[in-house]
Structure 1
């Protein structure tokens, strides 16, 4: 299989994004998912005629005789006769016959009588005035944000039918990798494992787990056989060195991408496993892994590219055959390279706001900016 261009590889990954089947899930589990059907109001908002102010519900002409009190959540006062008033809290149901609510600040009250200027219908929120019962308030495909969760709860929903986030399992390989403390001679601290959970969440996935593996074909094969995630990410076994066994393990899989013309991140793999799950193989160098994840994993999880372009405000040397991913920060004069962009270091990416995708043989002109989480 020939090496694909960076543009072709990410387009192919996006074309193989397969969201899970819709499911009815509790509100606590649907943040960031998309609605699988329109959101309807199960109750009207407000649910009754209620006071919009703290004050007095009145009927007839002033002065009004105080005959009771109504608090939010309390029992409604049954009805008012002409010349009567009840003290009322914001959100409390107004008694039948209420003509208006007179706010405290406009009222003259002595504990038995109240008077003041009351405009008919003023400061009363009518039942269903904000949202009628059964109204469609959001369409299918809407992302469930914190505001959507609050809206759904206010409309009577305990569960929502959504397209769940794809479950993503991460396998971190390498005998040389340590996962805590200071690495000794010949060892390296894992930087990819801590990077991926946030990236997966940002891209629209749900981390199902992280598994640490030694080098070896058997360990990797057994780990892959035990996965039931929608997407499996293998870190550090995608190259062609003596300790890279992913290609051998994928002999029975449909390999869609085997190498991408991009730097860093050339040795990356996209495959469909026999189970139907998708696999993204990332190189072991941290910045190379980030570049590969933005190329294959992010579009595979359904996050679209923004299509932002910018001039480059700083010297960049293009590669003759491969796309270069260059960490940059935005400025008025254009995207400014921040440096520190060797494959084994995330320093530049940590300083950057985006990665500039510099095409092969670039000699100037706008370049695409790839947003970073």
Structure 2
């Protein structure tokens, strides 16, 4: 079967997404919304300050209103702000009724009322330290307003708490001036207009607004939006349950290869890879080459998808095809015209249950994973098919005479290096200075941006060195692709963007 047809067959092998379930927010990450996310409240749910500063009412200058520490985020039961008054306010705090706007801290200064001099009936010092006596009873006289001038403005100990910054009462906005003792003025020609630096109720959304569509992947940002909109739990598509069966008597599970046996590379790799594709991996089991054990494992499993490794060809210990026939499975894909990985297969065990047989060679297994498993899992999860990405090749890629080739590549910015392939002597065959991941790409094509896909060496079916250094697989058509030609790139789950 042609490679593109095999992928399409896997994508339409299921009738629709799995049944929805309800998950608490912390458990919903990586799932898919089963229904639209609708706002349960206005966002924000009240008029709030967008800046630290002063809530002011009417035109300035403004008298400092009472209120202790001012208005902080979370305060309730606010006192209406009278015309001509101002009160300290913190970012996110609810604005008091009567607020015209918010004056940012850096745009305002507090000015002290001039102190009364001796002609007003009292003696004052530079910082309000006049003559005091007893418990704040300073030397007093009678001023024009009939009030005695106390040595200290607090009338207790003759001291005057500063309301300005280090330069005196005419500067800064720190401190807590007594009401009526100071006024707030704008600086630098700034003015306050109605609604200034206020986040109005419903600015982001109104209750009932549709925020996200069904089928949206639940990312950390989606969790934050859901919490802000009033959700404690989400209705999401159930994760596909996947079971991995690793076949092969020749596989070792620890230590160095020895005595003609090799390490199992697929067991440690497939489970985490499947989880990045949205699966719930229920277990990875090593069965060896035993047809009866394999048949029992396949028929007893309740997984939505079984993934086997090895045993898909026609050798003496390749038991996958006989087990499928014995189980009455419907084979949907039996071999794909792709290198590496042509002996991959897809079968329907029962309605809603499938088996994907991957080749035993590691890179061939990755080819099968991206060709059959990923489209199948996306369909079960309710995810839309991944949009194709196309990038020009930095150099030509040899092709198979008849089959599609999947070649590990790394994206780079700029032109290829002068040395052959620009990769000799570097891990995975990458060019000097290249990385495994960079900034997220902003589009699905590298044309006109200087981004190129550099084919990597170590791309044989039994190798993992190339794919470990890659951020994607280039789809090379039969016959090969020339330098600069556009190639479809199958992005790996951890791809973050082009490298320098």
TM-score using structure 1 length: 0.90
Q: How does 1:134-213 map to 2 (within 5 A)?
A: 134-213=208-287
C-alpha separation between the residues in 2 aligned to 1:261 and 1:272?
20
Distance across 1 between alignment mates of 2:246 and 2:311: 9
Please say if residues 244 and 308 of structure 2, whose CA atoms lie closer than 8 Å, have aligned partners that are also in contact: yes
CA distance in structure 1 between the partners assigned to 2:244 and 2:90 by the alignment: 54
Q: 1:94 to 1:269 in 2, by over 3 A?
A: same
Q: Provide closer, same or farther for how the CA distance between residues 368 and 136 of structure 1 changes in structure 2, counting only shifts above 3 A.
A: closer
Q: Is the 8 A contact 2:340 2:405 kept in 1?
A: yes
Shift of 1:324: 2.4
Superposed counterparts of 1:243-254, under 5 Å: 243-251=317-325, 252-254=328-330
1:286, CA displacement in angstroms?
A: 0.6
Other-structure match for 1:64 = 63
Summarize deviations over 1:219-267 as a string: whole Å, max 9, x none: 1122223322221101122122222211121111111122222222121
Q: CA RMSD in A?
A: 2.4
Name the CA distance, whole Å, in 2 between partners of 1:278 and 1:313.
Answer: 39
| Count of residues in correspondence between the two structures | 369
Instruction: Report SS of the residue matched to 2:401.
Output: coil
1:291 equivalent in alignment to 2:367? yes
Shift of 1:309: 5.7
Report the CA distance shift for 1:353/1:94 in structure 2 as closer, same or farther (over 3 A).
Answer: closer
What's the secondary structure of 2:366's corresponding residue?
helix
CA shift, 1:79, in A, is: 1.6
Distance (whole Å) between structure 1 residues aligned to residue 391 and residue 62 of structure 2:
68
Change (3 A) 1:278 1:52: same
Structure 2: distance between partners of 1:114 and 1:157: 44
Structure 2 residue aligned with 1:308? 390
8 Å CA contact 1:259–1:266 kept in 2: the answer is: yes
Distance across 1 between alignment mates of 2:71 and 2:487: 64
Q: 5+ unaligned residues in a row in structure 2: which ranges?
A: 111-162, 164-176, 187-191, 379-384, 417-451, 494-500
Alignment of 1:360-371 (within 5 A): 360-362=478-480, 366-371=486-491
- The 5 Å alignment of 1:1-373 reads 4-17=1-14, 18-60=16-58, 61-68=60-67, 69-109=70-110, 110=163, 111-112=177-178, 113-117=182-186, 118-251=192-325, 252-274=328-350, 276-302=352-378, 303-304=385-386, 306=388, 308=390, 310-311=392-393, 313-314=395-396, 316=398, 318-330=399-411, 332=415, 335-362=453-480, 366-373=486-493
112-121 vs 253-262, which moves further = 112-121
Tell me which moved more, 284-293 or 140-149: 140-149
Shift of 1:201: 3.3
In 1, are the aligned partners of 2:244 and 2:307 still within 8 Å (CA)? Answer: yes
C-alpha contact 1:36 1:163 (8 A) present in aligned 2: yes
CA offset digits 1:176-204 (Å, max 9, x no partner): 21222223222211111222234323434
**Contact 1:102–1:116 (Cα < 8 Å) also in 2:** no
Secondary structure at the counterpart of residue 331 of structure 2: strand
* Structure with max Cα Rg: 2
- Whether contact under 8 Å (1:70, 1:76) holds in the other structure is no
Structure 1: runs of 5 or more not aligned: none
3-state DSSP of counterpart to 1:67: coil
Partner secondary structure for residue 301 of structure 1? helix
Q: Distance in 1 between matches of 2:209 and 2:264?
A: 51
CA distance in 2, matches of 1:336, 1:286: 21
Equivalents in 1 of 2:83, 2:397: separation in Å?
82
- How far is 1:80 from its partner? 2.2
